[in-house]
Copies of this chain bind each other. A is one copy, B any other.
């Protein structure tokens, strides 16, 4: 066999490395890595996605584990149960005020700062490449992907608001950046930068 290390493999490794390094250091809030991920998810997911099952799918774990993590956040008073669906099996969890408060200390802030310091071209390239990658991975695995409404195939409209073909409703500006469980990736994106239009054909 060949032990050749390709450029593709290097990228994959860097992604794993960054994902792990991004956990950062919790300064005082006393939340574990899994709890931060859950709190972040419920802070950023839209209404129909703030359920234990959706979080389990997002976090690539089982519903049982997801339920446990949520329970611990309930006990800390950062999440609140909020039954408000037609499906009586389903439960929705929302952030409490305390939960919103504690999100200010999100250790992921360090990674955000690092991204912020990047050259603008690199940053917008990431903004295109990562959602596309999520879509490709979901495609290979035949699973659902996660992404924000603004990146979704169901979305149309260019201004501050837009239309979601999935929920069949106009989206508020705030929802454009929210995670949705019904997300469908746009597969054929190419890198197009600002003015200079260097488009890859093929």
Contact = CB atoms under 8 A, between A and B. Distances in A.
Contact of A121 (B1, B137, B200): B200
Given A18-B134, A194-B198, 9 more contacts: A5-B177, A7-B127, A8-B116, A13-B108, A15-B111, A19-B20, A121-B190, A122-B190, A126-B126
Interface string A1-42: 101011111111111111111110000000000000100100
A113 interface: yes
Interface in A160-202: 174, 177-179, 188-191, 193-194, 198-200, 202
Q: Which 3 A-B pairs have the closest CB atoms?
A: A19-B19, A121-B191, A125-B125
Copies, count: 2
A34 to B, nearest CB: 10
Contacts of A100: 1, 3
A3 B177 CA distance: 11
B121 A14 contact: no
Given A5-B44, A116-B8, A200-B120, A18 B21 contact: no
A56 interface: no
Contacts of A125: 122, 125-126, 128-129, 191
9 contacts: A5-B174, A5-B177, A8-B112, A17-B19, A17-B58, A110-B137, A118-B133, A119-B191, A126-B133
A78 interface: no
A79 B60 CA distance: 29
A104 B4 CA distance: 11
A148 interface: yes
A114 interface: yes
Contacts of A103: 3
Contacts of A91: none
Nearest to A119: B190
Interface string A89-126: 00000000000110110001011111111111111011
